[in-house]
Amino acid sequence: MKKLTLAILAGTMALMPTMTKAQAFEQGKSQVSLGYGFVNGTQTLLSAYDEDLYPDMENSALGPIFLKYEFGVSEHVGFGLNIAYANAEITYNDAFVDGEQSIKWWGTSFNARVNRHFGSNDKFDPYIGLGIGYKIAKWTFSDDDESGDIGALIPLGFEGTFGSRYMFTPNIGAFAEVGIAKGIMQLGLNAKF
């Protein structure tokens, strides 16, 4: 009787679905992130214009905005693509030139990226990432009389960041990264499928 009970128990356990805990980063799963960056370097550079010389200077910027995709190729490594966009602009009146002048910049990068993940937690996923790819950028200088454009001198995009994801549910979370990218820091939402 004891052998029959053990056989029934073993058979029942074998037929029951296994309950495994999902990891925040998993091999064979995709992650999509949408984020916003802080400390737009070009805006910082443009806003360094002397406000005493240009008291009516106006400064505006958007981004950087990040769209990221990553696929888990192993237990701790993911490959993906990062797309980033940012712009900045200043307008001012120069005392020595008639009319309004402006300097505008925008840039987009498409970087292939590899992330090395260090955690094995179902909520928290720390990682380090490196990316390299193609960058498009354009500077436009204009005043009331004429305008000129300059493209990116070196169309090479690069990023190196340390980041982490925190999953609120098995499929939805948030991410934060710091490092060298279009912004020094970035925050956003993440989805795993």
Domains of the chain in start order, with CATH, are 2-192 (2.40.160.20)
Instruction: Write the pLDDT tens digit of every residue in 87-140.
Output: 988 888 776 667 788 889 899 999 999 999 998 888 999 999 999 999 999 988
Mean pLDDT of 159-169: 96
What helix, strand, coil percent values describe the chain, rounded to 5?
Answer: 10, 60, 30
**Helical spans, DSSP H, in the chain:** 2-15, 41-46
Instruction: Write the pLDDT tens digit of every residue in 4-41.
Output: 444 444 444 444 333 345 688 899 999 999 999 998 77
**Cα 71 vs. chain centroid, distance in angstroms?**
15
